[in-house]
Chains A and B, each alone.
Chain A
Amino acid sequence: MSQKQGNGICLFCYNNEELDYAKFAILASQYAKKQLNMPVTLITDDGTLEWMNTSHDKNLIEDSFDNIIIDGSVTEKRTNIRRHQDSPWSEFNAPFWNSNKHTVFDHTPYERTLLLDTDYLLMNDFYNYIFETDMPIAMHRYAQYIGGDMPYTNEITLNEAGIHHWWSTIVYFDQSEESKLFFDIWSHVKDNWEYYSLLYQFPKMLFRTDFCVSIATHLMNGMNNDDFVHDFMAQPLLNMDQKDDIAQVNGLNDVVFLKHNRTEQWKNILCRHTDQNLHIMNKRALDRHYQTLLDLAKEKASV
């Protein structure tokens, strides 16, 4: 019998020299709690926790996280360098530690868990419904970018003739055998990354959990694009491109973006999204507006 109880949210957070993921985790937690009213568990390492304790108010940390679990296994093992953009004109490299994301199945203290990336801000309560269903696993199969742009080709399928791409940005799961199998496959793909990169024909250089979950989902869907894994009612994940910027935060659930034009990158388009969950892929933009976003979350909470 599983000892886990209730519903809750999990976040992974590992700082590096370029990005303060602890800040993002606090923000993501504040928004998630506000929308879903559920406990949040943070999974991190000693270094990140120490930095969080020195750089943030103790009350804010306690208010943001109901549990903190230390798992330092990931940062010791491998360097996964990822190129980030901040607008079309600025880029930087940073390590990206995500190889233990599948361990959330064991780490979570909850019977039903929503695993969120720290750059995902909940601005509505859409995900509440999934906790009332019998679905063992759910992820987004589809995505779109702010302003209605299509995802990039390798975000639709793993290669031109390849399997469907699924997003690990938000993973809902319970403690069923099906969920266990899903995370076991995820772990197996991670352990045999080079083999699966050849079999499914994707670049092996950057370890991507999206590819792990895509393969696991493909296998569990009967080796095709089927419906065993729930896709949040085909709702697309809303991404903000790393080349886009946040122009202004109007309110708690109201953000104006400066979206780049893909074909003519020097052109920018203002677009506004209200009450929509947002995957803020430009981390520097999120960092620049951290205090405003946090203040809005705290302000509404105190009211």
Chain B
Amino acid sequence: MSEEIEIENNDAPKRGFVTLGINTGEDNIRYCYALACSIKVCDPDASITLIVDKGQLGNVQSFYEHVFDYMIELPYGNSAHKDGFHGMNLWQVYHATPYEETIYVDYDTLFINVDVNDLWSVMSSRNGISVPIDALAYRNFPVPKTWRFEYETQYKLPRYFYNLMYFDKKDKTVAEWFKMADPVLQNWRDVYNHVFPNKKPEYFQKNVLGNVITHFVDHTDDIGVKLNNHYDLHTLSHGVFNNPDEAPGNWTDMLNYWVTNNKKIQIENSVIGSGIIHYSDETFLTDEIVDVFRTNLTQRLQER
């Protein structure tokens, strides 16, 4: 277990968004940048913090900086430096966040026409910690949970989404959850062997481990919230690939998609006009799409 290190930042607003951007061989901050632009298009006053690897603050390219209110280093360094599964650092977000109330967002997410005030109000409505209980796929169909949560279903674990997490640092439940997250995420192979005696995931899966943590701390009934604009575009969420074993690694290999200048995402014949969109496929975010959100943010700020 790591020692507690509290980061004091009295100037920080009470509420804000946090995302993780760990650069290794390639530029991963661009995903966080697109995410931050998309949040600020929805709410220019939203506070956004980028968390980077220890000692890497100086390596964030300067043209990304304008969209982040804070840039902070992981307090305990990149615990995924061997494996490259950067989601493993989720446990450190609790220690790194400068806010009292935080919404953690996965880097491969975009906000489109989201009422940010409403999001805060829904996510903070239940407890000190909350995650979405369900999600929609690109055709507005509910995500088929049997496929998306194959292991959770088999082992009767909670079936929640951890790409979006609200937590209030003052709440005891939150401390419990992140305290459990520390050993579970850092020792995920041992946890797999312990929790999944038969079929187990072949690699690190943050979402599966999030559900394991929730199960371990016995908060299954306390943390789920219903969001009607949460999209999960994971390959197994679309309801398109009938055999999960034959599903492509990247859904963008099989489905056509476009992002229009007014930020609407069209996949095949279906348009997503608003929502929190976890696209779950890095190849989705082309430079043109980053430009769309950068341009929209510039226009939004000029309009103010």
**In the complex, are the beta carbons of B255 and A226 less than 8 A apart?**
no
A160 sits at the interface (CB 8 A): yes
**In the complex, are the beta carbons of A224 and B140 less than 8 A apart?**
yes
Mark interface residues in B133-147 (1 if CB within 8 Å of A CB, else 0): 000000111000000
| Chain B residues, Cβ within 8 Å of A162 | 268-269
| Chain A residues, Cβ within 8 Å of B268 | 161-162
B7 sits at the interface (CB 8 A): no
Smallest beta-carbon distance B67→chain A, Å:
29
State the main secondary structure of chain A at its contact with B: loop
Q: A153 vs B270: C-alpha distance in the bound complex, in angstroms?
A: 18
B238 sits at the interface (CB 8 A): yes
Smallest beta-carbon distance B41→chain A, Å:
20
Q: A199 vs B272: C-alpha distance in the bound complex, in angstroms?
A: 18
Smallest beta-carbon distance B160→chain A, Å:
23
Count the A residues whose beta carbon is within 8 Å of the partner chain — how many? Answer: 14
Asked if A161 meets B238 with Cβ closer than 8 Å, knowing A224-B139, A224-B140, the reply is: yes
**In the complex, are the beta carbons of B270 and A225 less than 8 A apart?**
yes
State the main secondary structure of chain B at its contact with A: loop
B266 sits at the interface (CB 8 A): yes
Count the B residues whose beta carbon is within 8 Å of the partner chain — how many? Answer: 15
- Interface residues in A150-205 by Cβ distance below 8 A to B read 157, 160-164, 199-200
Q: A162 vs B266: C-alpha distance in the bound complex, in angstroms?
A: 12
A148 sits at the interface (CB 8 A): no
**In the complex, are the beta carbons of B273 and A163 less than 8 A apart?**
no
Smallest beta-carbon distance A288→chain B, Å:
37
| Chain B residues, Cβ within 8 Å of A200 | 269
Smallest beta-carbon distance A200→chain B, Å:
6
| Chain B residues, Cβ within 8 Å of A70 | none
A206 sits at the interface (CB 8 A): no
Smallest beta-carbon distance B138→chain A, Å:
8
| Chain B residues, Cβ within 8 Å of A226 | 140
**In the complex, are the beta carbons of B255 and A223 less than 8 A apart?**
no
B117 sits at the interface (CB 8 A): no
Of the listed residues A218, A222, A224, A226, the one surrounded by the most CB atoms of chain B closer than 10 A to its CB is A224
| Chain B residues, Cβ within 8 Å of A161 | 238, 240, 254-255, 268
Mark interface residues in A224-245 (1 if CB within 8 Å of B CB, else 0): 1110000000000000000000
**In the complex, are the beta carbons of A218 and B140 less than 8 A apart?**
no
Q: A268 vs B140: C-alpha distance in the bound complex, in angstroms?
A: 36
Q: A160 vs B137: C-alpha distance in the bound complex, in angstroms?
A: 14
Q: A160 vs B254: C-alpha distance in the bound complex, in angstroms?
A: 11
Which A residue's beta carbon lies closest to that of B242? A160
- Interface residues in A133-157 by Cβ distance below 8 A to B read 157
| Chain B residues, Cβ within 8 Å of A225 | 139-141, 270
B271 sits at the interface (CB 8 A): yes
Binding site for A on B (CB under 8 A): 139-141, 238, 240, 242, 254-255, 266, 268-273
